[in-house]
Amino acid sequence: YGNGGFDTKLNTNGFSINYGGNVSLSNHQYLNTATLFTVAGNITQDGSLTLNGATLNITGDYSHTLGTTIVDSGSITVGGNYQYGDNSDARLFMDHNSGSITVSGNAIIKPHTAYHSLTAGVLDVKGDFTHATGVHQNNFNPTGTHKTVLSGTSKQTVSFGIVPESGFNIRSAILGDLP
């Protein structure tokens, strides 16, 4: 899955798919409604991914270094760390209230450009949140109803490369005030 030289459209009609091992997503992958796709390993993404109401569970790390992720009304759960961008043209779209990304580890946000759309949905981070700037200073600047939740069970560190150009729109801390 995801290593071929063609686009993949996966519709399991409500059945689940479990994959044991690491996955590399290239080209454009579509996970359609009612699909539960679990990867027992890491995902490296250098293509595009669209979750059309699907659920993607990753037990390891998720490295989104290039391409576009459209969360849509789907959800991504990352058991390890999530890296969005690597001073590259990675793009993230969260534009539906029911869309979510939950990260059990750290979230490292460092896209090269400001080309993303974070207008709705929830980014829930249980580890540290680190933002590093690329070419554009406002390359993490959610708007609308997009919410960032810090829900770790111990102290979390939040850092931004440049403020006030980048930051949270609506934020919530489960254990107390934000630093």
CA dist 178 and 63 (Å) reads 26
Averaged pLDDT of the chain: 80
pTM as predicted? 0.85
162-164-165-168 Cα dihedral, nearest 10 degrees: 100
C-alpha distance from residue 140 to each of 13, 91, 105 (Å): 35, 11, 19
- Tell me the range of 22-36, 87-101, 103-117 where mean pLDDT is highest: 87-101
d(CA 7, CA 167): 34
Q: How far apart are CA 39 and CA 138, in angstroms?
A: 32
User: For 42-84, what is each residue's pLDDT tens digit?
Assistant: 999 988 889 988 899 999 999 998 888 999 999 999 999 999 8
